[in-house]
């Protein structure tokens, strides 16, 4: 477990599980007013994956899901909205595609990390974390279907308002990455 204090206004607690399905990030926004931290950049075009020159590393599918509902690839209950209550867990389900494999003897390594930025609608970064390990899988096969999840837990509730979540997923063996931008609203009731 790791706890960071950023500019004395925002504290971040991280609990990382190296399982295929979970990474927990506990983010506390103690003051959601925009600070002069810089703007969230636009999504970048991913570089072609070394294992598949025709298709770049990307998210084939991503959606918010109901916490506790993910039971495997394609097995989840959709959240069906980008509106969350104060204190509600925000869980993003991701199906990456065109990722690479690193040979480890007769096995294959698939390894992913993520960066997460939380910003206000004006683009001011409120908090963020980099290089979080979200999945390390060693398999006898070059798995073609796997999932990643990133969970934001409001240990102190986000103030009511609009936010932008920027998830950057990195394929560690190839060095390639892609961005997912999600607009969310925290609203009562």
Q: Give the H or E element holding residue 28.
A: strand 24-29
Question: What number is the average pLDDT over the span 161-168?
Answer: 97
Round to whole Å and give the CA distance between 134 and 142: 18
pLDDT band at 189 (very low <50, low <70, confident <90, very high): confident
Ranked by mean pLDDT, which of 50-59, 109-118, 121-130 comes out on top?
A: 109-118
Q: Give the H or E element holding residue 163.
A: strand 161-171
Domain ranges within the chain, ordered by starting residue: 2-186
pLDDT confidence of residue 177: 97
Higher pLDDT, 156 or 37: 156
CA angle (137 as vertex; 136, 139 as ends), nearest 5: 160
Two tokens, residue 56: 């770049």
- Give backbone dihedrals phi and psi of 184, rounded to 5 degrees, phi first: -130, 160
pLDDT band at 54 (very low <50, low <70, confident <90, very high): low
CATH 3.20.20.100, domain 2-186, yes or no: no
Two tokens, residue 9: 């206004």
What confidence tens digit (pLDDT) does each residue in 5-21 have? 333 323 333 333 322 22
Instruction: Of 50, 173, 33, give the one whose Cα is nearest residue 103.
Output: 173
Flag whether pLDDT at 145 surpasses 60: yes
What is the distance between the terminal CA atoms of the chain, rounded to a whole angstrom? Answer: 32
Estimate to the nearest angstrom the gap between the alpha carbon of 51 and the chain centroid: 23
Considering the chain, what percentage of its residues have pLDDT values greater than 70? Answer: 71
Flag whether pLDDT at 166 surpasses 80: yes
């Amino acid at each position: 477990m790791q706890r960071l204090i950023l500019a004395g206004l925002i504290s971040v607690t991280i609990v990382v599980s190296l399982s295929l399905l979970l990474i927990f990030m506990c983010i506390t926004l103690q003051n959601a007013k925009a600070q002069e931290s810089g703007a969230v950049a636009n999504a970048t075009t991913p570089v072609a994956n070394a294992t598949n020159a025709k298709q770049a590393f990307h998210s084939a599918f991503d959606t918010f899901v109901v916490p506790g509902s993910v039971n495997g690839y394609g097995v989840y209950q959709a959240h069906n909205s980008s509106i969350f209550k104060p204190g509600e867990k925000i869980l993003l389900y991701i199906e990456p595609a065109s990722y690479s494999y690193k040979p480890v003897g007769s096995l294959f390594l698939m390894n992913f990390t993520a960066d997460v930025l939380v910003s206000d609608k004006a683009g001011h970064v409120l908090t963020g974390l980099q290089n979080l390990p979200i999945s390390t899988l060693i398999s006898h096969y070059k798995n073609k279907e796997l999932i990643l999840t990133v969970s934001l837990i409001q240990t102190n509730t986000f103030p009511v308002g609009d936010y932008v979540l920027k998830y950057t997923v990195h394929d560690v063996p190839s060095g390639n990455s892609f961005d997912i931008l999600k607009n969310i609203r925290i609203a009562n009731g």
